[in-house]
Amino acid sequence: MADTFDIGLGNSDFKTRKIADSDFVSFWNKQAKNLSWFSSWSQTLDWQIPYAKWFVGGTINACHNTLDVHQSTKSDKTAIFWEGENGDSRVITYGDLFIEVQKFSNVLKSLDVKKGDRVTIYLPMVPELPIAMLACARIGAIHTVVFSGFSAASIKDRIVDSKSKIVITADGGYRKGKIVKLKEIIDEAIKDIDFVKHVVVLERTKNKISLTSKDKLWNNLMNDASDSCVAEKLDSTHPLYILYTSGTTGKPKGVLHGTGGYLTHLYSTFKWAFDIKDSDVFFCTADIGWVTGHSYVVYAPLLHGATQVMYEGAPDYPDASRIWDVLQKYKVSIFYTTPTALRMFMKFGDDIPNSFDLSSLRLLGTVGEPINPEVWKWYFTIIGKQKCPIIDTWWQTETGGLMISSLPGLETLPLKPGSGTLPIPGVDIGIVDENGLDVPPNTKGYLVIKNPWPGMLLTLWGDDKKYENVYWSKYKKYYYSGDYAKKDDDDYIWLLGRSDDVLKVAGHRIGTAELESCIVSHNDVVESAVCGIPDEIKGEVIIAFVILKNGITSSDKLEKEISNKIRHDIGAIATPAQIYFVSKLPKTRSGKIMRRLLKAIANNETIGDTSTLEDSTAVTEVKSVFDEIQKVIKEKST
């Protein structure tokens, strides 16, 4: 039986869930009325599997709902406390943001950007990033934000696929004390692309750049721009943005999100999950280059007129105390981050966070991957001081917003470390077998979504066939998430990792998330990653890469302890053939472990593109440790 924690914020509106589950279309119809519409809709949902159109006939504008609606009541309220990695800081009110967005909307118009045109944005985490996004939304252009860690080749793929006529970038951005030269990367990416007409360049770091005839400086354009621009009245189904997400094979998929349904989903889930109040200071650590940054840094907080912290750079720079200093400085009340970041903070010990005043916190959240129960308990005890509920959220780029989460702003439920709890109201999530039949409680299956929801993707940009094949071919009537999960006896959902992150050992399927969580539950371990390598007898054997807590030294004894723990907690079939102790793992700058690199190293294959790596030395170290141990194993065998 999992540990349970009865802690909440005093809300018990279970009626909402019952109403939503009995008639989800009427339920979402009511939720949409929380937004400001230019004209109402004639049909709540047009569902032609697998295409959903929400609030058909209604007209709306995302920028209008995030800025215009607040001007009479919150123009002087802080929208963004921004802090740069180099110590720069800015305070931006809703009034300031309104003026800047209208001016940049006019800049885009002056560059001949029209409704439906695509605009690629490649900026660091600075306020001009949401300003550019909202300006696109205001005039009906479709923004496609590219994470500022991507290489020129990756950016080129996205620009070519979206046919963006404008690129917005900066001279550079700060990351771990260094300047990432964004403008140079863009120059390389677009050198052979003739349809990019203009590049708007923000001066962030003042490093030397070369300007071409296509380049325009942000400040020069803004100086000449009018601060008045009326928001376009757009169809509810008008595309708001394209966000590219990697699949298991092939080029990135351009996930296309609409406007009315997406905003309805975000407005509702932000209120339910984060219990947002006018006095709160919200801090989501996600980069806007990923969907969490789109949904819960840019759109959802601004829909509610919330105050938030926006931070540029690494959370552990110049040292491991930086993130806690930010929380203390801005008196953050709601903190939303990743399990990967938490495992890193755990590694540095309890003394650092304990030396800061974190008493302003009242709610904690995690996103991006399943959280290990041990990490959950550390977060709850050390950061939340056992008084803050933790929302463990599951959703995807494709879903647009939260799909599974505890909802302190709506209802009080016991929390179970490691479980996402229940689906949000109005969403029917099932755990099914290969034939699409619901599996019994405590049985692993595929996570599917059985009905349409407002935040769902419209399609994949320019590729309806791929949209149908990727998400709707395995089960014709259900959205296939590609994730494994199980429900317990209380219907709580436990995420078990990607179905393509599955090891098959002697015919047995073992999820990487299950195995990694088991390893991390060892007292001396802070993080782990597992992968499989071919084996003549078993088909595949497991190898594990393990990071130990500071002050703990690797040893044969420790390796045996971890192996025994796996045998005890999961079963002998899951015992790794080899455990490698390393000081770091190859991760993207968004904090995801690049398991394909571990697998490539273990199989002596070409490593491939590493442009999104946070720290390239991690690959070198892992390879060195792997080669050294293989050498020892070979010597012993001979």
C-alpha dist (Å) from residue 321 to 312, 326, 350, 354, 356: 15, 9, 11, 10, 9
Nearest CA to 143 out of 168, 126, 124 is that of: 168
pLDDT value at residue 506: 66
Q: Do residues 463 and 247 lie in contact, with contact meaning Cβ atoms separated by under 8 Å?
A: no
Pair 314, 125: CB distance under 8 Å: no
Q: Where are the beta strands (DSSP E) in 285-346?
A: 307-311, 334-337
Average of pLDDT values for 464-490?
Answer: 95
Note whether 54 and 70 are within 8 A (CB): no
Element at 277 (helix H, strand E): none
Are 290 and 591 in contact, with CB atoms under 8 Å apart? no
Q: What is the pLDDT of residue 637?
A: 64
Backbone angle region of 442, left / alpha / beta, with phi > 0 → left and psi within -120 to 50 → alpha = left
Q: What is the mean pLDDT of residues 96-104?
A: 98
Residues 6+ apart with CB under 8 A from 139: 105, 108, 109, 113, 114, 115, 229, 232
CA distance 340 to 350: 16
Residue that wins the pLDDT comparison between 250 and 27: 27
231 CB neighbour count, 10 Å cutoff: 22
Rounded Cα–Cα distance for residues 497 and 394 (Å): 11
Nearest to 415 by CA among 273, 279, 617, 283: 273
Which residue(s) pair with 529 in the sheet?
Answer: 545
Tokens (6 digits) for 577: 């053939």
CA–CA separation, 292 vs 394, rounded Å? 11
The token pair that represents 247 in the structure block: 């699949």
Residue 285 pLDDT exceeds 60 = yes
Instruction: Give bridge partners of residue 495 from the DSSP assignment.
Output: 485
Report phi then psi at 522, rounded to 5.
-70, 135
Q: Minimum mean pLDDT among 7-16, 29-38, 113-122, 370-379: which range?
A: 7-16
pLDDT tens-digit series, residues 364-416: 999 988 888 889 999 999 999 999 999 999 999 999 999 999 999 988 888 89
Helix (H, G, I), strand (E, B) or coil at 291: helix
DSSP 297: I
Instruction: Look at residue 15 in the predicted model and tell me its pLDDT.
Output: 78
Element (H, E) at 166: strand 166-170
Q: Say what the pLDDT of residue 612 is.
A: 67
For position 1, what pLDDT does the model report?
Answer: 39
Write down the pLDDT at residue 248: 44
Q: What pLDDT shows up at residue 590?
A: 67
Fold type of domain 508-637 = GMP Synthetase; Chain A, domain 3 (3.30.300)
Report strand pairing: 253-257 vs 241-245.
antiparallel
Report pLDDT for 10: 47
Q: In the numeric block, which tokens belong to residue 109?
A: 């118009």
pLDDT number for residue 67: 98
Residue 500 has pLDDT above 80, yes or no: no
Distance in angstroms between the alpha carbons of the first and the last residue of the chain: 47
- Cis geometry, peptide bond prior to residue 339 (ω within 30 degrees of 0): no
With cut-offs at 50, 70 and 90, classify the pLDDT of residue 12: low
Residues 239-283 pLDDT 10s: 999 999 865 445 778 999 999 999 999 999 999 999 999 999 999
Neighbours of 600 (CB within 10 A): 18
Mean pLDDT of 534-550: 85
Sequence-distant (≥ 6) Cβ neighbours of residue 7 within 8 angstroms: 386, 387, 388, 389, 415
d(CA 141, CA 168): 13
b/e burial code for range 439-478 (CB count within 10 A of at least 16 → b): beeeebbbbbbbbbbbbbbbbbbeeeebbbebbbebbeeb
pLDDT of amino acid 249 = 44
Say which DSSP state 572 is in. G
Q: Which helix (H) or strand (E) covers residue 632, if one does? A: helix 617-637
Nearest to 137 by CA among 200, 206, 231, 245: 231
Q: Which residue has the higher pLDDT, 137 or 3?
A: 137
Q: What is the Rg, in whole angstroms, of the alpha carbon atoms belonging to the chain?
A: 24
| Alpha carbons 542 and 447: distance in angstroms, whole number | 24
Determine the pLDDT at residue 102.
98
Among candidates 267, 257, 275, which has minimal Cα distance to 296?
A: 267
Domain limits of the chain?
A: 62-232, 508-637
Cα–Cα nearest to 512, from 566, 555, 438, 431: 566
Give the pLDDT of residue 7: 57
477, 450 contact by CB (below 8 A)? yes
pLDDT in tens, 299-358: 999 999 999 999 998 889 999 999 999 999 999 999 999 988 898 899 899 999 999 999
The string of pLDDT tens digits covering residues 591-602 is 778 777 888 888
In this structure, the number of other CB atoms found within 10 A of the CB of residue 72 comes to 7
Check if 62-232 and 508-637 are the same fold.
no
Structure confidence by residue, pLDDT tens digits, 38-85 = 999 999 999 999 999 999 999 999 999 999 999 999 999 999 999 999
pLDDT at 503 over 90: no
Average pLDDT value for residue range 227-236: 98
pLDDT at 156 over 60: yes
pTM of the model: 0.86
- Find the range with the poorest average confidence among 93-97, 298-302, 526-530: 526-530
Contact 315, 341 (CB under 8 A): yes
What are 474's two structure tokens? 């395995």
**What is the average pLDDT value for the chain, to the nearest integer?**
91
Q: Is the pLDDT of residue 153 over 90?
A: no
Of 16 and 528, more confident: 528
Percent of the chain topping pLDDT 90: 73
CA distance 108 to 102: 10
Q: What is the CATH number of domain 62-232?
A: 3.40.50.980
Residue 505 in this model has a pLDDT that exceeds 60 = yes
